[in-house]
Each structure stands twice: as C-alpha cells, then as structure tokens.
A and B are shown apart, each in its own frame.
Chain A
Amino acid sequence: MSSAEVIDNFTLLPEAERLNMLLEYSEALPTVPEQHDGFDFERVEECQSPVYLAVEVEDGKVSLFFDAPREAPTTRGFASVLHSALDQSTVDEVINFDDSFPDKLGIAHLISPLRMRGIRGMIGRIKRLTRELSE
C-alpha cells in the first residue's frame, strides 16, 4: 500500500471514525516472524509506550519489523500505519519519505502532541537505520 492510500484510508473517513481506523491498523500490525527473534531491535525512545523497531535492507528493498504491546494500541497503530506505508519500499523511497506524513492523516488534533512526536520519532529512526544499512 502506498502512503497516499494510507492517507486516503484516514482522510476519506469522517473525523469521528478516524481513531477507529487507527485501531484497525493496530490490530493488523504483523507479528515479528520467528526467524527475527534476537534481531537487532531498537527502542523508539520518542514513544510513550515501549515500541521496538528493526529494519532490514535486501536487494534495495526495505523490510520493517515492529514490536509493541497490545496494551498500547495507539503506538501499535502508528507502527502499523508506517508498516503499511513503507514496508517493501526502496531505500530511496524510505530516505525521501515525506516527514509531514503524520500530519496528513488528519488525526493530529485527536491525538496528543506527544503522540504525534512519537510517530515522527519512528520515521526518523526508520530513515536513519535504512541509511546506515545501505551505506
């Protein structure tokens, strides 16, 4: 799914239903495949709840793995949104990913400012890890 499609999934909905969409995303966050146990996960410090991120680059394609507890649906939801928008993108697409993407989801005023910084923190880390792995 492209990031434009993810944005449409939210913004085409009436405002009152957008948080439910985030909840659906949180439920759809893929579990980390077993072969990635012991994978080099990095904690996203910008998030209020624990969320761990790992990035893999193979043949110029970026794979993203997130681990976040079920008790933290908002954090999981953001992780899942980014997974939908970015997983299997090319290195260039990830590095040039639009930093204002979180604002375009149309949920900023429904979510506390701290949360919005959390998702920006995830994007920043995804870009940095991708850059490091593709150098």
Chain B
Amino acid sequence: MNLDSSKKIAGYAHPEALVSTDWVAENLGKHGITLVESNEDILLYETGHIEGAVKLDWHTELNHPLKRDYLEPEQFAELMSRKGISREDTVVIYGDRSNWWATYAFWVFKLFGHEDVRIMDGGRALWINQGRELTKEIPEGTTEYPVVPRQDSEIRAFRDEVLNHLGKPLIDVRSKAEYTGERLHMADFPNEGATIGGHIPTAHSIPWSTATAEDETFLPVTELERIYLQETGFDKNQDFIAYCRIGERSSHTWFVLKYLLGLSSVRNYDGSWTEWGNLVGVPIAKGEHPGEAA
C-alpha cells in the first residue's frame, strides 16, 4: 500500500507507520485497507465512525478473559477474522483522546507481528474537526486470519526485566502528580488499586500527552527529539522502557519512541503502576526526582 508522502510524516523515522487524515480520505474504501477505531469511550464508534471502519473494544476484546494478559494466538486470529481483517491488510487505527487507545491497539497488533499497521495522525477528533463525514453503518464480512504466535519479548517488558533496567532509559508517562506519589491515579480517574504512590526509581517523568499537539496530532520529529533525547540525555541506542498505570498511555509513548523517533529497542511495561505499586519488596521513589537505582 502506498505511503503517506506528506512532508511531516516523511520526516519521521518510520513514515510507514503513520498516515494523515488526507491520506485516509483519499484511500477510503480501497481494497486491502481496513480502518479500525479504538476509543477510550467504547460507545463513541456507535455514534458515528469513518466509513468502513470496524470497532475494536480495548476493554472486552484485547484482553485475555481470565488472566491479566493479552489474547492467546487463537483468540487473536478469531478476533481478526470476525472483524474482517486479513493478515496482508494495511490496518489503519484511529481513536479518541489523541489516539491513546489507538496506539494501545497498535501495540497489540505488533505483539502478533501484523506487518502493516498505521496510526491516523490526529485521530477521531481531527477527522471530525476537519468536517469530514461519519457514518453509522457497520461493515460486515469475515476473513480467515491465521493463528500466529504472540511475540512478547521485543516490545513488552515484564517486572523482573524492569527491575534489572533501573538506571537505563525508563520513562514514566503518567501525570506529574502520579509520578511524585501525590496521587495514586489520574486526576479524573478513580484509583484502580495501587497500594503505594510514586515511581520506579530512575524513571524520568514525561507525561504521554507531551508528544501531542493541540489538534491531537503528533508533534513534529524535531520537537520529539528535543523532548525524549536532548532534554533527557538518553542515547538513541540504549534500551528504553515506558510505563504508566496499565500500559495504555505508555503504548502511546512506545509508539512515539519506536516509530516516530526510530529507537531500536523500546518496550512497553504493561504491568505498569498497578503491578509495581503493589509488588512486595520492589524499590519505589517519591517526589520530583528520578531517584537512585538501589
């Protein structure tokens, strides 16, 4: 599938992972492209969505039904088949709140090695603000998506790996108040049950939305370099891990680091604070400073 050759997108390290709303409008209905809408508000899709887009519900469809984990390979294949997505499809994901849940879905697609997945820059809000059409029509049709193994190791970090990572690039993407330990949860969200507030020692605080502009698009590449590399002093070739509360906000930062900045090793710690803040015996830092690796 052709890439978005607009100047802004061509400037990113992996321009094949991002498309503009213009590109989507031009390629609407083209064979081989499936649009996927993934929102924080799970009813938004039903109020209207881009023509041909299928809904992916992050809460009920991407998680394992019994344990805190993602789908098994068979379940993912079944989900994709039910949504009418083929393994060869160009999957373009967009959503509300600056593509927060769209990047989460993107990350899950990548756990299963789906090759051509892209985010629509600016997400649902930009599409609507540009006065583009929505429909309530729900696409039908199924496919036969193959069962492929889930590959966690490259892009997913587990707690013991994080414990061994202290002192290396670690980014806490939650709000400042969550980072310092003043709050146990996001300002407008109720507590999801972490026992202790604070952050993983040595983690830098860069709230996820720092990477987005007011129109919900990603900042240009030079701005992102300044925020994540120059201001932190991190080296592009180091291993990076990002975390938040359950791994959704940090998948946004993961996407920025890996696909827009092109860092070679970036993992999302989806256990995040709801795991770390409850683990027995792990070190925790409070306050504004990253703290020391014990």
Interface residues of A in 8-35 (CB under 8 A from B): 19-20, 22-23, 26
Q: A48-B40, A71-B41, A73-B43 are in contact. List 17 more A-B contacts (CB 8 A).
A: A19-B42, A19-B43, A19-B46, A22-B43, A23-B47, A49-B41, A73-B46, A74-B41, A74-B43, A75-B41, A77-B43, A110-B60, A111-B42, A112-B42, A113-B192, A114-B192, A117-B190
Interface residues of B in 14-59 (CB under 8 A from A): 40-44, 46-47, 59
Are A114 and B190 neighbours in the complex by a CB distance under 8 Å? Answer: yes
How many whole Å from B31's CB to the nearest CB in chain A?
A: 29
11 contacts between A and B (CB under 8 A): A48-B41, A72-B41, A73-B46, A73-B47, A74-B41, A74-B43, A75-B41, A77-B43, A114-B192, A118-B190, A121-B190
Are B43 and A114 neighbours in the complex by a CB distance under 8 Å? Answer: no
Are B192 and A74 neighbours in the complex by a CB distance under 8 Å? Answer: no
Interface size (A, Cβ < 8 Å)? 27
Per-position contact with B for A90-133: 1 when CB-CB < 8 Å, else 0? 00000000000000000001111110011001000000000000
Q: In the complex, A50 Cα to B187 Cα: how many Å?
A: 12
- B172 at interface (Cβ–Cβ under 8 A)? no
Contacts of A114 in B (CB 8 A): 189-190, 192
Per-position contact with B for A45-83: 1 when CB-CB < 8 Å, else 0? 111111000000000000000000011111101000000
Per-position contact with A for B168-208: 1 when CB-CB < 8 Å, else 0? 00000000000000000000111010000000000000000
Contacts of B190 in A (CB 8 A): 46, 114, 117-118, 121
Contacts of A117 in B (CB 8 A): 190
Q: In the complex, A73 Cα to B47 Cα: how many Å?
A: 8
Q: In the complex, A113 Cα to B68 Cα: how many Å?
A: 14
Least CB separation from A77: chain B residue? B43
Contacts of A111 in B (CB 8 A): 42, 59
Contacts of A113 in B (CB 8 A): 192
Q: In the complex, A70 Cα to B47 Cα: how many Å?
A: 9
Least CB separation from A26: chain B residue? B43
Contact among B44, B46, B189, B192 with A20 in the assembled complex (CB-CB below 8 Å): B46
- B121 at interface (Cβ–Cβ under 8 A)? no
Q: In the complex, A46 Cα to B191 Cα: how many Å?
A: 9
